[in-house]
């Protein structure tokens, strides 16, 4: 089936083999005929995703999961999009994006640290907070400003909203006994930031992604948050960021 | 001798980080000072320790041969140990 979706301000025509991607993208479908990119994946792309998933399971020591071809197609489509976008000042990053008003904060951490738990704490304790994307948002550069976009690719929970919010901070989450937040230098966090950013296969797109990350560091503050599982963690994080960014 | 990977050097406010590019695996980054970044630049093309030494001597005439030589050897040995530098 063929349908158009809007992501990060661009219109993509998706030519899919299965319905799952259409259902997943339902909130992002547009009728515009001004298409910027056409994304068509084939069975070979789906099999490549199956192999990638198998290798990742091996690396992480997880049990084998037999993914459906329709699910793997959703991954193949997003991979194509992520490969294309750096040239247009857009990149994909792994993290949970929360917003309050017109300020968005991206929380990033290794798997298992507690991004989902911390996200829930914000929703329960920070008035007016909402999730833009719980797993794989897109970030677009406009001059010195960075805007974070919701996407349908939103992890197990599927938390996402079809909206865009100015990015005002990136928070590296760590577990701690107490709750504290402080500004960190980009060079300290760069290896982790790169590991959480989609790495295109094309060398030109890789270089462009690094240029975007360097620009991001120049214009968006980075924070480190040590937190436990108390609700105070969300309050201290929000107060710390608001206070230091003046939002 | 030559670098095994192509690197992009990112200036993070006076601190330099060199990030390898070229394949789909992230191999980590090198943290450098300004001179390290310059040496890395020289190693993008096939070269020799003597040529790099000569370049640094011209760039930093106030430094002695010994100072430049020791720093260069330490840095090249580090790159060799990490498997980043290849060739004779």
User: How far is C-alpha A87 from the chain's CA centre?
Assistant: 18
Task: Provide the shortest C-alpha distance from residue A235 to chain B (in Å).
Answer: 30
Q: Please check the confidence at residue A41 and state whether its pLDDT lies above 90.
A: yes
Q: How far apart are CA A127 and CA A141, in angstroms?
A: 28
Q: What is the DSSP letter of A143?
A: T
Q: Please check the confidence at residue A54 and state whether its pLDDT lies above 60.
A: yes
B45 contacts chain A (CB < 8 A): no
Q: How far apart are CA A188 and CA A174, in angstroms?
A: 14
* Each residue's pLDDT tens digit, A166-197: 999 999 999 999 999 999 988 889 999 999 99
Q: Please check the confidence at residue A224 and state whether its pLDDT lies above 90.
A: yes
CB spacing of A217 vs B31 below 8 angstroms: no
Lowest mean pLDDT among A87-96, A117-126, A208-217, A237-246: A237-246
pLDDT bracket for residue B25 (50, 70, 90): confident
Q: Please check the confidence at residue B71 and state whether its pLDDT lies above 60.
A: yes
User: Which of A245, A214, A240 is closest to A225 using CA atoms?
Assistant: A240
> Does residue B76 contact residue B42 with C-beta atoms inside 8 Å?
no
Give the pLDDT of residue A246: 55
Cα angle vertex A178, ends A168, A100, to 5°? 25
* Each residue's pLDDT tens digit, A16-39: 999 999 999 999 999 977 999 999
Q: Please check the confidence at residue B87 and state whether its pLDDT lies above 80.
A: no
pLDDT bracket for residue A247 (50, 70, 90): low
CA atoms within 13 A of residue A59's CA, in its CB half-sphere = 6
Q: How many domains does chain B have?
A: 1
Q: What is the ipTM of this complex?
A: 0.81
Cα angle vertex A173, ends B8, A157, to 5°? 100
Q: How many CB atoms lie within 10 A of CB A190?
A: 22
> Does residue A5 contact residue A38 with C-beta atoms inside 8 Å?
no
* The two structure tokens encoding residue A211: 């240029």
Q: Set out the domains of chain A in order of their start, with CATH numbers.
A: 2-87 (no CATH), 90-245 (3.90.228.20)
Mean pLDDT of B39-56: 94
Domain range holding B14? Answer: 2-86
Contacts of residue B82, Cβ cutoff 8 Å, sequence gap at least 6: none
CA-based nearest residue in chain B for residue A216: B12
> Most B CBs within 10 Å: which of A203, A206, A221, as the mutation test of the B interface?
A206
Question: What backbone torsions phi and psi does residue A181 show, to the nearest 5 degrees?
Answer: -135, 140
Contacts of residue A226, Cβ cutoff 8 Å, sequence gap at least 6: A174, A175, A176, A178, A179, A180, A181
Give the pLDDT of residue A20: 97
Q: Please check the confidence at residue A7 and state whether its pLDDT lies above 70.
A: yes
pLDDT bracket for residue A153 (50, 70, 90): very high
- Nearest Cβ partner of B8 from A186, A195, A210? A210
Q: Where are the alpha helices (DSSP H) in A9-142?
A: 20-24, 43-60, 69-84, 115-125
Q: Please check the confidence at residue A245 and state whether its pLDDT lies above 70.
A: no
């Amino acid at each position: 089936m063929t349908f158009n979706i809007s992501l990060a301000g661009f219109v993509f025509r998706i030519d899919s083999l299965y319905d799952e991607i259409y259902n997943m993208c339902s909130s992002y479908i547009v009728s515009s005929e001004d298409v910027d990119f056409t994304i068509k994946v084939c069975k070979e792309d789906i099999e490549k995703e199956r192999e990638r998933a198998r290798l990742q399971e091996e690396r992480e020591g997880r049990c084998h999961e037999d993914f459906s071809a329709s699910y793997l197609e959703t991954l193949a489509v997003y991979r194509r999009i992520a490969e294309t976008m750096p040239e247009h000042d857009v990149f994909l990053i792994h993290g949970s994006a929360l917003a309050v008003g017109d300020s968005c904060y991206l929380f990033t951490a290794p798997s298992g640290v507690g991004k989902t738990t911390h996200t829930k704490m914000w929703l329960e304790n920070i008035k007016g907070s909402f999730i833009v994307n719980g797993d794989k948002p897109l970030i677009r550069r406009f001059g010195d400003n960075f805007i974070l976009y919701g996407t349908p690719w939103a992890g197990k929970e599927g938390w996402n909203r079809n909206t865009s919010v100015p990015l005002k901070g990136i928070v590296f989450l760590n577990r701690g006994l107490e709750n504290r937040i402080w500004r960190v230098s980009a060079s300290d966090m760069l290896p982790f930031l790169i590991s959480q950013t989609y790495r295109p296969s094309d060398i030109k797109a890789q270089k462009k992604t690094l240029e975007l990350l360097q620009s991001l560091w120049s214009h968006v503050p980075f924070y480190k948050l040590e937190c436990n599982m108390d609700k105070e963690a969300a309050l201290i994080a929000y107060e710390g960021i608001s206070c230091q960014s003046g939002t | 001798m030559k670098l095994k990977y192509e690197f992009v050097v990112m200036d993070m406010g006076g601190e330099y980080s060199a990030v390898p590019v070229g394949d789909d695996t992230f191999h980590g980054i090198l943290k450098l000072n300004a001179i390290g970044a310059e040496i890395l630049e020289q190693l993008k093309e096939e070269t020799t320790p003597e040529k790099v030494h000569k370049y640094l001597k011209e760039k930093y005439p106030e430094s002695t041969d010994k100072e430049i030589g020791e720093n260069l050897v330490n840095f090249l040995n580090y790159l060799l140990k990490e498997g980043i530098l290849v060739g004779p």
